[in-house]
Structure 1
Amino acid sequence: MDSPKRSWSLSTLPPELIEEILYRAPPESLIRAKPTCKQWYSLITSKRFIYNHLDRSRKRFIRTVGTVQVLDPVTRTRSETPLPKEFQRPYGVRTMVHCDGLLLCTCGYFNYRNTNLAIWNPVLKKITWIKPSTCFTTSDYYGIGYDIKKPRYEYKILRFTDHRYDHNVTYDEDGPEVEVYECKTNSWRTLDTEVDWQVDLSCKGAAVMGNMYWVACNHGEQYILGFDFSVERFKDVCFCPPPAFNNYLACYNGDRLSLLQQDEEEPWDIVVWVTNKLADVDVSFTKYFSVSRPDVPALLDHTDMANPVYFIGKQKRIIAWCEREVFGGDDEIPPTCIIFNEIDEGGVRTHLETERHCRYGYFGTFFCGYVYVPSLVPLPV
Structure 2
Amino acid sequence: METGKAEQTTDHFPQEIIEEILYRLPVKSLSRFKCVTPSWGSLISSKQFIKTHLQRSKKIESFTDKRIISTCKGNLKACSLSSLFTEPVTRAFSFDFIPINSSRDVVIVGSCNGLICVLVDACRFFLLNPSTRESKELPDFFTGALFPKNVGSIRGYGFGFDESSGDYKVCAVCYMIFRCGSNLTFPSTARVYSLKDDSWGRNFFFKDVCIFGSAKFVSGKLHWISYSKTNPKWEVVCFDLKSETFGIVKQPSCIEGYYSPGLGVLKGCLCVFADYVSTIKFDIWIWNKYGVDDSWAKHVTISYRSVSWEPSLPETYNLITPLFVLPGGEVLFTYGSVFFIYNKKDNCVRQQHTVDFDLDRVRAAEVYTESLVSLVLDD
Q: Which residue is 1:68 aligned to? A: 77
Q: Which residue is 1:342 aligned to? A: 341
Cα pair distance change 1:276/1:9, threshold 3 Å: same
Q: Could you tell me how far apart the structure 1 residues matched to 2:312 and 2:235 are?
A: 22
Cα pair distance change 1:299/1:40, threshold 3 Å: farther
Q: Could you tell me how far apart the structure 2 residues matched to 1:79 and 1:19 are?
A: 33
Q: Which residue is 1:287 aligned to? A: 298
Indicate if the aligned counterparts of 1:227 and 1:234 stay in contact, CA closer than 8 A.
yes
Q: Could you tell me how far apart the structure 2 residues matched to 1:175 and 1:189 are?
A: 18
Cα pair distance change 1:70/1:169, threshold 3 Å: farther
Q: Could you tell me how far apart the structure 2 residues matched to 1:193 and 1:47 are?
A: 37
The one-letter amino acid paired with 1:214 is: W
Q: Could you tell me how far apart the structure 1 residues matched to 2:68 and 2:105 are?
A: 18
Q: Which residue is 1:13 aligned to? A: 13
Instruction: Tell me which of 77, 84, 94 is aligned to 2:107.
Output: 94
Indicate if the aligned counterparts of 2:69 and 2:367 stay in contact, CA closer than 8 A.
yes
Q: Could you tell me how far apart the structure 2 residues matched to 1:318 and 1:91 are?
A: 32
**C-alpha offsets along residues 49-94 of structure 1, whole Å, 9 cap, x if unaligned?**
2122222325321124356231314754545334325021136523
Other structure's SS at 2:248 match = strand
Per-residue deviation at 1:32?
Answer: 1.0
Cα RMSD between the aligned structures?
Answer: 3.5
Query: TM-score by structure 2 length?
Result: 0.77
Cα pair distance change 1:232/1:258, threshold 3 Å: same
Q: Could you tell me how far apart the structure 2 residues matched to 1:126 and 1:306 are?
A: 32
Q: Could you tell me how far apart the structure 1 residues matched to 2:317 and 2:134 are?
A: 32
Per-residue deviation at 1:24?
Answer: 2.1
Q: Could you tell me how far apart the structure 2 residues matched to 1:313 and 1:209 are?
A: 21
Cα pair distance change 1:233/1:350, threshold 3 Å: same
**C-alpha offsets along residues 101-126 of structure 1, whole Å, 9 cap, x if unaligned?**
11110112xxxxx5211111111112
Query: TM-score by structure 1 length?
Result: 0.76
2:192 maps to 1:177: no
2:54 maps to 1:37: no
Instruction: Tell me which of 140, 150, 165 is aligned to 2:155.
Output: 140
2:93 maps to 1:81: yes
Cα pair distance change 1:300/1:158, threshold 3 Å: farther
Q: Could you tell me how far apart the structure 2 residues matched to 1:299 and 1:70 are?
A: 25
Per-residue deviation at 1:230?
Answer: 0.8
User: May I ask how many residue pairs the two structures share in their alignment?
Assistant: 340
Q: Could you tell me how far apart the structure 1 residues matched to 2:276 and 2:350 are?
A: 20
**C-alpha offsets along residues 328-371 of structure 1, whole Å, 9 cap, x if unaligned?**
xxxxxxxxxx21211121221111222374x64xx3x532x222
Other structure's SS at 1:55 match = helix
2:125 maps to 1:117: yes
Indicate if the aligned counterparts of 1:222 and 1:239 stay in contact, CA closer than 8 A.
no
Q: Could you tell me how far apart the structure 1 residues matched to 2:317 and 2:302 are?
A: 25
The one-letter amino acid paired with 1:36 is: V
Q: Could you tell me how far apart the structure 2 residues matched to 1:243 and 1:213 are?
A: 19
**C-alpha offsets along residues 9-28 of structure 1, whole Å, 9 cap, x if unaligned?**
66643322322222222211
**C-alpha offsets along residues 117-155 of structure 1, whole Å, 9 cap, x if unaligned?**
1111111112111122414965421122233322x3x21
Matches within 5 A, 1:189-228: 189-199=201-211, 204-218=214-228, 219-228=231-240
Q: Note the residue ranges of structure 1 that are not aligned, 5 or more in a row.
A: 1-7, 109-113, 324-337
Q: Which one has the bigger helix percentage?
A: 2
Other structure's SS at 2:197 match = coil
Q: Which residue is 1:106 aligned to? A: 119
Q: Which residue is 2:138 aligned to? A: 130
Cα pair distance change 1:380/1:260, threshold 3 Å: farther
Other structure's SS at 1:378 match = coil
Q: Could you tell me how far apart the structure 2 residues matched to 1:187 and 1:49 are?
A: 28
Indicate if the aligned counterparts of 2:191 and 2:202 stay in contact, CA closer than 8 A.
yes
Instruction: Tell me which of 364, 374, 377 is aligned to 1:378.
Output: 374
Indicate if the aligned counterparts of 1:225 and 1:234 stay in contact, CA closer than 8 A.
yes
Per-residue deviation at 1:274?
Answer: 0.9
